[in-house]
Structure 1
Amino acid sequence: MKITEKENKIVIDDVKDFEITHIFDCGQCFRWNREEDGSYTGVVGKNVINVKQEGSRVIFDNVSMKDYEMYVKNYFDMDTDYGLIKTMINTDEIMDKAICFGSGIRILNQDEWETMISFMISANNRIPMIKKVIENLSKMFGEYIQEYRGRDYYAFPSAEKLAGAGVDKIMECRAGFRSPRIKEAAARFLKEKDTVYSLKGKSYQEGLDYLKSYCGIGDKVANCILLFSMKQFDTFPVDVWVRRVMQTLYVDKDTSDKDIRSFAESKFGKLSGYAQQYLFYYARELNIGK
């Protein structure tokens, strides 16, 4: 890769295994929105970033070289060899097709706190509504960052802000029945912040058991949090789309989510999370099993 800086932009040429549509539309994040020019704008921490792609060239706007080195490179997992990962999980014709279809997927390194609350909101919810609730919470409780392309952007609210908020105010953000759970999770997080941020270094089972002790975090949500913010790549979250593709292409129609996950984790091992993302995107975009 060749990296250059110009006019508050970072331009990277010859980027491999990177496709913005695959990355932002594979179900792992909710704060990125497509612009009319095909680029995506989102919030990472207290920073607004726009990402545009022209073939193998990726342009990060509103980003300096210092920003790139401090958080952008890690957030987009730029040092991971996805070519090697794809080779290792490409064990059959089904995975070959899924990998080819979503070849540019990368698993983002997202903040644990934000990911916890975001996926609590995702339970039994549609992506447009999830994004709206998160946007509302950020606007009401988050720190103002800046105006970009005519739109105001806010950081994801801190645990302190949500713990101190009234449930009625959280409900105004259209969080619904999740509102008291969000407030409760925020209050607990303040006491156990170090524990949460240490889960990267714990075993998968330790992380799963801990997260499921929160009200509002079940098996699927816990596995998503582990995969998308805690580098637990041996997990295999099962949602409606993953269930459909697995029951259509790999296992019997009546196979339970637990058994689907066990099958996948046995098949793909320590790289199960990567396999899940390729299969999820493949199933949802092509309506497999619907």
Structure 2
Amino acid sequence: MSWNKLLCNLRELQLSGTLNGGQSFRWEYNKEMDEWTGVFSKTVWKLRQREEFLQYKVIGSLLQSIVQKKNDVEFDNNGVFEGLLKKYFRLDFNLSDYYTKWSEKDDLFKAACKQFYGIRMLAQEPVENLFSFICSQNNHISRISSMVEKLCKHYGEEICEQDGVTYYSFPDVEKLSTPKVESELRQLGFGYRAKFIQKSAAQILEWEGEKWFAGLQDMKYKEARLELMKLCGIGPKVADCICLMSLNHLEALPVDTHVYQIAAQNYLPHLRGKKNVTEKMYSEIGDHFRSLYGDYAGWAHTVLFCADLKKFQQTTDSEDIKPKKRRKKT
């Protein structure tokens, strides 16, 4: 199977920081092969980075038969999948221009972006993003990834098998909404999150699912955030993650203990030494970065987050990415 090429300069997309920065939990890096394997849009991908372009392979997809059936003709694999990649990495967004603007406003960003260039905010599917971050509460990266894969294996559709690994799509809301799901997930080790997942799925289904998510994208950021917090088990931080990562509210800024430390040490010294992030502090930190970076504050701050974590990270071993467990509900 040959590699496809997508024109994309290394400075505009850095796979390591983007895929390993706590946004998505379905990517794995193979150091020996220098390639990433992951699942999104009911498709299994392999990605490899080069100086002037992104290489990709589609290992398997549930979309092929769907597109073929709709068009009743042989469809352009490269065109369909290239479009999905462009959307996923928001490649229509000229990141270098914004890096320049953010650097002019903030010396800390200016220093961080020298190594952390090309950090993209993924445009994720809202359903997967929402339930993945319910799993993230009070959790660490390897266990979050394990839980997400359990959801896919038990409630998703099989996509393909390669090298002894079976890949599954992320389940639809309907599959997670039935009452028996809570007890099944508890048996699988989800703890109290089992209730949050089943109840939230049932609520979303009651509110017309995809139509509800589309409405959240059309709302103003803070309205969408409040609407998300009506779901069982969704607090301010998880709501902000969903707004930022899958609803196109790029000014949303999830504040956890680690983000608080970045803010207190570098921007808001009067907040130093606090034991807990209060609601008032949460708002102050978010508003500060929004005033500094504007409508893309969440994206800009993600670069700082990755830069600050890098000294702790071992990109090739998710088990060792201990600081990421700080991305927990506050």
Which of 254, 275, 284 is the equivalent residue of 2:300?
275
**Are positions 1:260 and 2:255 aligned together?**
no
How far apart are residue 17 of structure 1 and its match? Answer: 1.2
1:225-264 to 2 correspondence within 5 Å? Answer: 225-252=242-269, 253-254=272-273, 256-264=281-289
**Cα-to-partner distance string for 1:217-249 (whole Å, 9 max, x where unaligned):** 111110010000011011111123222222121
**Are positions 1:51 and 2:47 aligned together?**
yes
RMSD: 2.0
- Work out whether residues 181 and 194 of structure 2, in 8 Å CA contact, stay in contact via their aligned partners in 1: no
Which of 17, 20, 28 is the equivalent residue of 2:12?
17
Which of 90, 95, 104 is the equivalent residue of 1:77?
90
Specify the alignment match of 1:178 in structure 2: 193
How far apart are residue 126 of structure 1 and its match? Answer: 0.7
1:33-182 to 2 correspondence within 5 Å? Answer: 33-36=28-31, 37-62=33-58, 64-90=77-103, 91-164=105-178, 165-182=180-197
Specify the alignment match of 1:3 in structure 2: none
Distance in 2 between residues matched to 1:31 and 1:266, nearest whole Å: 33
How far apart are residue 14 of structure 1 and its match? Answer: 5.0
Mind listing any 5+ residue stretches in structure 2 that lack a counterpart?
60-76, 275-280, 313-322
**Cα-to-partner distance string for 1:50-83 (whole Å, 9 max, x where unaligned):** 1111333311111731332442221121111001
Distance in 2 between residues matched to 1:263 and 1:254, nearest whole Å: 18
Distance in 1 between residues matched to 2:79 and 2:235, nearest whole Å: 38
- Work out whether residues 133 and 175 of structure 1, in 8 Å CA contact, stay in contact via their aligned partners in 2: yes
- What amino acid is aligned across from residue 227 of structure 1 in structure 2? L
- What amino acid is aligned across from residue 268 of structure 2 in structure 1? V
- Work out whether residues 102 and 293 of structure 2, in 8 Å CA contact, stay in contact via their aligned partners in 1: yes
Specify the alignment match of 1:224 in structure 2: 241
Distance in 2 between residues matched to 1:238 and 1:275, nearest whole Å: 14
More divergent stretch after superposition (250-259 vs 80-89)? 250-259
Distance in 1 between residues matched to 2:240 and 2:302, nearest whole Å: 12
Distance in 2 between residues matched to 1:153 and 1:172, nearest whole Å: 22
How far apart are residue 163 of structure 1 and its match? Answer: 0.9
Count of aligned pairs: 284
1:194-209 to 2 correspondence within 5 Å? Answer: 194-209=211-226
**Are positions 1:187 and 2:202 aligned together?**
yes
More divergent stretch after superposition (119-128 vs 236-245)? 236-245
How far apart are residue 132 of structure 1 and its match? Answer: 0.4
More divergent stretch after superposition (54-63 vs 275-284)? 54-63
Mind listing any 5+ residue stretches in structure 1 that lack a counterpart?
1-6
- What amino acid is aligned across from residue 269 of structure 1 in structure 2? G
1:22-33 to 2 correspondence within 5 Å? Answer: 22-33=17-28
Distance in 1 between residues matched to 2:239 and 2:137, nearest whole Å: 11
Distance in 1 between residues matched to 2:287 and 2:8, nearest whole Å: 38
How far apart are residue 151 of structure 1 and its match? Answer: 1.2
User: What TM-score, normalized by structure 2, do the two folds share?
Assistant: 0.81
Runs (4+) of structure 1 exceeding 4 A deviation are: none
- Aligned residue for 2:113, secondary structure, equals helix
Distance in 2 between residues matched to 1:58 and 1:181, nearest whole Å: 38
- What amino acid is aligned across from residue 27 of structure 2 in structure 1? W
- Work out whether residues 89 and 268 of structure 1, in 8 Å CA contact, stay in contact via their aligned partners in 2: yes
Specify the alignment match of 1:284 in structure 2: 309
